Amino acid sequence: MKEIKQIITAYNAARSRGKGAVLATVVHIEGSSYRAPGARMLVTEDGSLTGAISGGCLEGDILRKALMVMTTQKPLLVSYDTSDEESSVITVNLGCNGIIRVLLEPIIEDNPYHPISLLKLAVEKRHRSILVTLFSLNAKKDAGQGTKMLFTPTGVHQSKEGKGPGFSALEPDIQTAWKQKHAMFIAYPVTDENTSGYNAFLEYLEPAPALVIAGAGNDVFPVVEIAKTLGWEITIVDGRPLYANENRFPSCQLVLSEPAEAIRHIKLDERTAFVLMSHNYDYDKAVLKNILYTPVKYIGLLGPTKKRDRILKELIQEGFQLPEDTEIPTSLYAPTGLQIGAESAEEIALSIIAEIQASLTETHGGPLRNLKGHIHHRNMGIVLSKKSYGVLLLAAGESKRLGTPKQTIAYKGSTLIQHAHHQASSLKTAVSLTVISQGDITLKDLLNQTDAVILENPDYKEGMASSIRTGVDHINRFYPNVEYLLIMLCDQPYVESAHLQTLIDTQQKTGKKVVASLYEGRKGVPTLFHRSLFPHLLELRGDIGAKNLIESLDNEVVSVAFPLAAFDVDTNKAREQLRD
């Protein structure tokens, strides 16, 4: 966030001088690179640079190209190959062994949601957001490229400039990135509106870490200085105005109050770290008591283990219940800091800040030389959009073993078929089809209460294969952009959207053509099938379904364990065991 704020400040200064500007953003990498996607640099008309997209090796060439973009007022995607001197893209021998793609965007003031405007909205409040940047590998000068959208808990801000997928197409993938809390790279198919086949960089942004320090002694100064260098938001909590004042801490928010009152004035979230270093036992104890049940993930307590144990023991004796059934709460780091042999105030500050950083990023803080493989584990694969997937819910048949239509059995306030459709449709894929028996008025009435696309199968008495053929044929005729079809049944009540999403996530990570559910030692539905297997699905006959096809593909299938899929409502005994 610090780099983004510096870019915003630099842009405001350039604008006040009447200078044009171009924003350079790393939108994708293959292999290794010094900076990750999301690294930015602002180039202004007078040649000044703010931010960085590499270790200094690419900035000169970016400056030249940015000045050209300023003239044309058209975006440009530039690729740098840092390893292959024979490559057709621009080669730079940096030793990083990767391809870096940088998007250059002119800042056009007439556009109310130009890239800098969206960045401003992203940092103005302490909330998570998804920033969407479109780029085209097929047309590097495509005018539709650029930072186009910001998704926040309070709304969506979208640029109307250029073509490309809109929010309705992007939303399912944005929601996935939001839930998984990491960046994604999505390929959107070529359509009449999306003639360049855009890729989207969905950048997951979190607010800058907030550091709250209880105490205002001299040993707090180096902690504040390091945190300020990192761009963290800093608050000092202390009840002594002689220590906690603007002359001593000009860059910090100051809260002069007793602990309980002080906490009410501070917004605490999962990106907040609290360090207790007041050197006053009772003050530290009072603060700890008031923050143990907050979302704060890191609470550092300065001092020896004896101090920690005494405070916790006294809190329990006073009737305070610790948030976890453990001797030491997981959020409490006491003594605070990494073990680096720190002695001086500056060294201790370094150990504390390093431990906070490791805690926020959920890493261990060990030596990099002990790592095997890459230093950074970045997921850079460009995966298919949710709009390249479809769902086929099989709900035809006579329920002969049960003796009554299983689809209409009450479950979770509705029926099995309505519940299954709700789980499928919540994925927000390109289409969610439901196949029922031809002439089944009851099921049609139930599904008409939903947004289901209903297909009637005239050959339902043949068995499950006929319903699969009905659905696949419909996909082939009306949804040519669907690359994967998820086949599921309506009588597996414990199959919910979370598992269906896991199947899609697994396909995107592995690239496999088939992703099946694993239960009772076998692979079965729900299962994802790639389009290349659609002809095989159309050849199925009888009541066997896709099980034989899955088994015949063997090693080409990746499986996801889900034991609950073994329960299906095929008998009266199973119906009696069904639980909401």
Q: Is the pLDDT of residue 87 over 60?
A: no
**Comparing 370 with 2, which gets the higher pLDDT?**
2
Average pLDDT, stretch 55-75? 91
Alpha-carbon gap, residue 388 to 14, rounded angstroms: 42
Average pLDDT, stretch 257-273? 89
Which of 88, 110, 96 has its CA nearest to residue 29? 96
Cα–Cα distance list, 220 to 288, 352, 547 (Å): 18, 11, 65
pLDDT band for 403, please (50, 70, 90 cuts). low
CB 35 within 8 A of CB 80: no
At the second CATH level, the architecture of 385-577 is: Alpha-Beta Complex (3.90)
Q: What pLDDT was estimated at residue 88?
A: 44
Q: What pLDDT was estimated at residue 98?
A: 75
Which of 313, 303, 315, 227 has its CA nearest to residue 271? 227
CB 278 within 8 A of CB 286: no
Q: What pLDDT was estimated at residue 35?
A: 86
Q: What pLDDT was estimated at residue 93?
A: 46
Average pLDDT, stretch 84-102? 60
Q: What is the mean pLDDT of the chain?
A: 90
Average pLDDT, stretch 70-99? 70
Average pLDDT, stretch 94-111? 83
Q: What pLDDT was estimated at residue 95?
A: 47
CATH class (in words) of the domain with range 210-360: alpha beta
> Phi and psi of 182, rounded to 5°?
-155, 165
Q: What pLDDT was estimated at residue 468?
A: 96
| Structure tokens that stand for 453 in this block | 């696309």
Give the residue carrying structure tokens 């995107």: 508
Alpha-carbon gap, residue 467 to 102, rounded angstroms: 47
**Comparing 101 with 368, which gets the higher pLDDT?**
101
Domain boundaries, the chain: 2-203, 210-360, 385-577
Q: What pLDDT was estimated at residue 160?
A: 76
Give the residue carrying structure tokens 């409490």: 332
Q: Is the pLDDT of residue 251 over 70?
A: yes
pLDDT band for 400, please (50, 70, 90 cuts). low
Q: Is the pLDDT of residue 381 over 70?
A: yes
pLDDT band for 193, please (50, 70, 90 cuts). low
Distance of CA 417 to the CA centre of its chain: 31
Label each residue of 387-435 as H, E or C.
HHEEEEEECCCCCCCCCCCHHHCEECCEEHHHHHHHHHHCCCCCEEEEE
59-64 contacts: CB < 8 A, separation 24 or more? 61/90, 61/92, 62/24, 62/102, 62/104
Among the residue ranges 196-200, 416-420, 559-563, the one predicted with the least confidence is 196-200
pLDDT band for 347, please (50, 70, 90 cuts). very high
